[in-house]
Amino acid sequence: MQRVEHMGLWERLYFPEILRGLMVTGYHFWRNLFVHILHQAGLAKNLEAAQTVQYPDERWPYPDTFRGRHRLTLKQDDTVQCTACFLCATACPAECIYIQAGEYPDKPVEKYPVRYEIDTLRCIYCGFCVEACPCDAIRMDTGLHPANWGFSRKDFVEDRELLMQRSRDLDAKGKEGLYEEHVRRYRHV
């Protein structure tokens, strides 16, 4: 970014720069619109126009490192791996993880999350929670974008059961199965 003292008078006036930005945006908007209309009429097929991916109906292939919707991993007996240590909630820059710890009957484990919730409207999908977890209890390897539909704030809060079920579904159906379920829910809203 240019520092203010290095800007010329023309740039310091701001208004011309705002105008220039609007002209660039306007140029791309009208050009794309015009080319798409030509394409619809079967003309100018050699001219490229920008496309928006209509997720979730369409999607790009994502790398394995893509940080998608969270899941809570499970132990072999199907109980939650999380020990309610709060490290993920402490590391979370968006403060969107809520944990309520409970005593576990199994003494060596000590604690488990009675409540574990992620407010996905606040989450920035940075992956710090996954990095912070000492026991691989939370992952973001589902390959799914967050849900972008819902009618109230609570529709976007993912609770412990949902996050655990996502691990079971991934295990049973794979990433493709998870994605199909994701699309099915989207279409039935």
List of residues contacting ligand SF4 (CB under 6 A): 82-88, 91-94, 96-97, 99, 118, 123-129, 132-133, 135, 137-138
Between 49 and 159, whose beta carbon lies closer to ligand SF4?
159
Q: Six-digit token pair at 44? A: 């100018």
Q: Six-digit token pair at 182? A: 């994701």
Least distance from ligand SF4 to the Cβ atom of residue 169, Å:
19
Q: Confirm if 163 and 118 have CB atoms less than 8 A apart.
A: yes
Between 85 and 178, whose beta carbon lies closer to ligand SF4?
85
- Helix, coil or strand: residue 54: coil
Q: Which amino acid is at 117?
A: E
Least distance from ligand SF4 to the Cβ atom of residue 82, Å:
3
Q: Confirm if 172 and 180 have CB atoms less than 8 A apart.
A: no
Between 138 and 144, whose beta carbon lies closer to ligand SF4?
138
Least distance from ligand SF4 to the Cβ atom of residue 128, Å:
4
- The residue whose two tokens read 């710090």 is 128
